[in-house]
Structure 1
């Protein structure tokens, strides 16, 4: 392997290129909306934009891991057998949060329907649109590469905070399409960042417990899906999610199951992957 060709700052290069690719794609999404294209066309363009981190990682791959196969790298992220206990734990946590928020919003809402979808067809479309525009497009780069790469130098917890921050900042253009201004925009950004960084810690803990990228994909999918299903004030929804996931993140940090977030003696990094003894 020719180490001289390797990027000196692969994670920083990845984050920079991800934003460079995302911005024009995001503006293209806005253009299709302004030109009156059908909703499905706008959704397709948004899904493509969401894959900017995967595109960036694919472009940089040979400079990050000279001599290695991109396809093999991807396969490695899914090779470990899924643990039903991990899937159940993450699902139950998120379903519980969803039900708590749903109950809270339903008691304070005056709208006719508490849900944003009115048929099974719409629910299925919404499910797959969210899956393609978020989890599948973002997890390989942000979790499969950037998180693991930083864990070579930092504890998983510290790496989560760093990646969570930059993952949140990557969403910056979207913040200004919400229509919020002034204090409402500040509140939205604050709660958004708390929610994003909290869910990032949750993802890291459960991903390191199972070592399969399906785990953060499931967590990401439920996070996006559930918040999009509830018909309520967006700032309130973001706030409820931020508080809920922050509580879960803090509990996981305190418990630190099998020392997956910190504890150097119990966490070994081997070939870019995190193995817990």
Structure 2
């Protein structure tokens, strides 16, 4: 079987990552008749970014990365457990991940689906629902992992736990800042860090699932500013455009 050149695979990966946003853009006028998609997108980035939120996000994910790095290094027999060997490759890998995931997915999943579900459910329940379907959306990855049998079942289980957990974390921080940059950062660091470590795939997804699950449970328990549940009324509906509804 002929293998595709890596750059073609990367382009295809980017296109597939943007599919949810492409679908949302095509359906926008039916979902929000009379609304402007440009304004909709601007609204998602309109809130002033809070340095404390960004710093907390980066610190949590960096800590998870270091813990996983330590765990993998304890069981690794190779000289280096980092997959990137040069600064240029690191830069390429960073931006490839950015365009092949967070930038393409977050407007559709978080910018639209999360907000719509939060009109009918608590943010926590909305996160679980979206996390499940977000995981199912990655189904092709499961069957290209090279795993089979019980290992594949374990991989799928840990994969779903990891994505639902990180979705809860995304929601908590997004609702603290109301800027789509926050889930983009979380999504990017998750993908970027897991791709940096040269380890057993099943172990990597298991470590991520466990650690992000712990973080998610922590936020569910403390529920800062009622960002996951407990608000009497959560209203994320778009305001009418000027001149509408007058």
Q: TM-score, normalised by structure 2?
A: 0.95
CA RMSD of aligned residues (A): 1.1
- TM-score, with normalisation over the residues of structure 1? 0.84
The counterpart of 1:268, out of the listed 214, 222, 234, is 234
2: distance between equivalents of 1:91 and 1:74?
A: 24
- Aligned equivalents of 1:178, 1:272: Cα separation in 2: 40
Q: Structure 2: how far apart are the matches of 1:202 and 1:242?
A: 12
Q: Matches of 1:123 and 1:37 in 2, distance apart?
A: 22
Task: Provide, for residues 46-100 of structure 1, a one-character-per-residue CA deviation record: whole Å limited to 9, x for no partner.
Answer: 1111101001101111111000011110011001100000000010000000000
2:92 aligned residue: 125
- The 3-state SS of whatever aligns with 1:67 is coil
CA contact (8 A) 1:148 1:272 kept: no
Runs of 5+ consecutive residues of structure 2 not aligned to the other structure: 240-246
- Show structure 1 runs of 4+ deviating over 2 A: 34-38
Write the distance in 2 (CA, Å) between the matches of 1:91 and 1:35: 40
Aligned equivalent of 1:251, options 203, 218, 221:
218
Report the counterpart of residue 53 of structure 1 in structure 2. Answer: 20
Match of 1:161 in 2: 128
Higher relative contact order (CA 8 A, sep 6+): 2
Q: Which residue of 1 aligns with 2:242?
A: none
Deviates more, 1:64-73 or 1:38-47: 38-47
Question: Which sections of structure 1, spanning at least 5 residues, go unmatched?
Answer: 1-33
How far is the alpha carbon of 1:38 from its aligned partner?
Answer: 2.3
1:200 alignment partner, one of 146, 164, 167: 167
Partner of 1:64: 31
Total equivalences in the alignment: 239
